[in-house]
Structure 1
């Protein structure tokens, strides 16, 4: 994960965007992201994946804690 973050930190932002399409400011970019069906689908997918991973992590922590409190 740290390697990915380092790579993203040095990657030029223009290479990650749609060049020449967004001349407005932050609000225009936000409206574009929330107004395009493909962007909304990716956002929904990311939210669902995050929720599933959070549930999985919570279940793993609960199992780990339950194993620590077992009477011998």
Structure 2
């Protein structure tokens, strides 16, 4: 028998959790882009790209989750 999922894991796998992660990743990406523009560091640009990709992946999963209903 598989172990029972906690409430947090159920939330993260629901559309509300996907939306929450999308907002978090988009905000982190925006913050890193803003920091990179201000300081001119390439590390922030790299982090912004990574969080931007994660936000796009979550957006795709959210759309798939909502269309699949």
Report the TM range for the smaller structure's normalisation: 0.3 to 0.5
Higher relative CO (Cα under 8 Å, sequence separation at least 6) belongs to: 2
Q: TM-score, normalized by length of structure 1? A: 0.42
Q: TM-score, normalized by length of structure 2? A: 0.44
Bigger Rg, structure 1 or 2: 1
